[in-house]
Amino acid sequence: MSDLNDAETKRRWLLRSKLDLPRNNVRLVGRPRLFARMDGWLDLDLATVVAPAGYAKSTTIAEWCRGMRDRNVAIAWLSLDEADAEPAQFLSYAIAALSAAGLDLKRLEAGAEEGFFAGGIPTAMAAMLDAVAQFAHPVVLVLDDYHRLASPAADALMKAMLQAGPRNLTVIVASRAALPFDPTPLLASGRADELTSEALRFTADELAAIFEHPVNASALA
């Protein structure tokens, strides 16, 4: 009985709520302009969404992800916080998110839940990426609130993941601050895209859709 209790205690540290897409109980403004651009992300290694609080980064990404699920895209969501700055925990949550999205990670998830990788972090990451490569459909891994990490070690792990990632994996990073790793090489090679606050800002037509009655152009401005 003691061994069972110890195993359960090891697994309790992993918060499953961090793997859920954000929920909204309000009517959302349609963003077809952005979603059309985001559909192209399935052909990329990296997409970044960087803007201050209040620009609906998480909401926009989550709504696009819901649409992608209807198109047989595996969506793995991870809401990051300061505790995930440690590389083993960062990778453990990434594995748990991919497993929750439907990927077969075999015994790797059990090791992640226990916070221990027998072959070390590089071996565990290689096994995770191999599982993604063997998956029959596109895979999207969303890392929300990346600014909360502030971890050079996690940044190094991210860069290694992007360098070794299979063709069917797209990593989406949402942050309130400029990314601590440089996506310029991927942008220059056409393997990445970025949405800034300018792109996220409502157009006049999107803003008008918020109101029940017509609003003139000067009032919208």
Half-sphere exposure of 54 (CA within 13 A, CB side): 1
* DSSP 8-state symbol, 137: S
Which pLDDT belongs to residue 213?
Answer: 62
- Asked whether the predicted pLDDT for residue 117 surpasses 80, the reply is no
pLDDT score at 4: 42
- Euclidean distance between the first and the last CA atom of the chain, given in angstroms as a whole number: 66
Beta bridge partners of 79: 144
Q: What percent of the chain has pLDDT over 70?
A: 80
Residue-wise pLDDT for 62-104, tens only, equals 999 999 998 999 999 999 999 999 998 999 999 999 999 999 9
3-state secondary structure (DSSP) of residue 27:
coil
pLDDT tens readout for residues 25-53: 555 566 788 899 999 999 999 999 999 99
Pairing of strands 192-195, 169-175: unpaired
Q: 127: closest CA among 140, 143, 139, 111?
A: 111
The answer to whether the pTM exceeds 0.75 is yes
pLDDT of residue 8: 47
∠ at Cα 130 (126, 133), nearest 5°?
Answer: 140
Tokens of 99: 């497993």
Secondary structure element (H or E) that encloses residue 88, with its range: helix 87-100
The per-residue b/e assignment along 131-156, b for 16 or more CB within 10 angstroms, e otherwise, is: bbeebeebbbbbbbbbbbbebeebbe
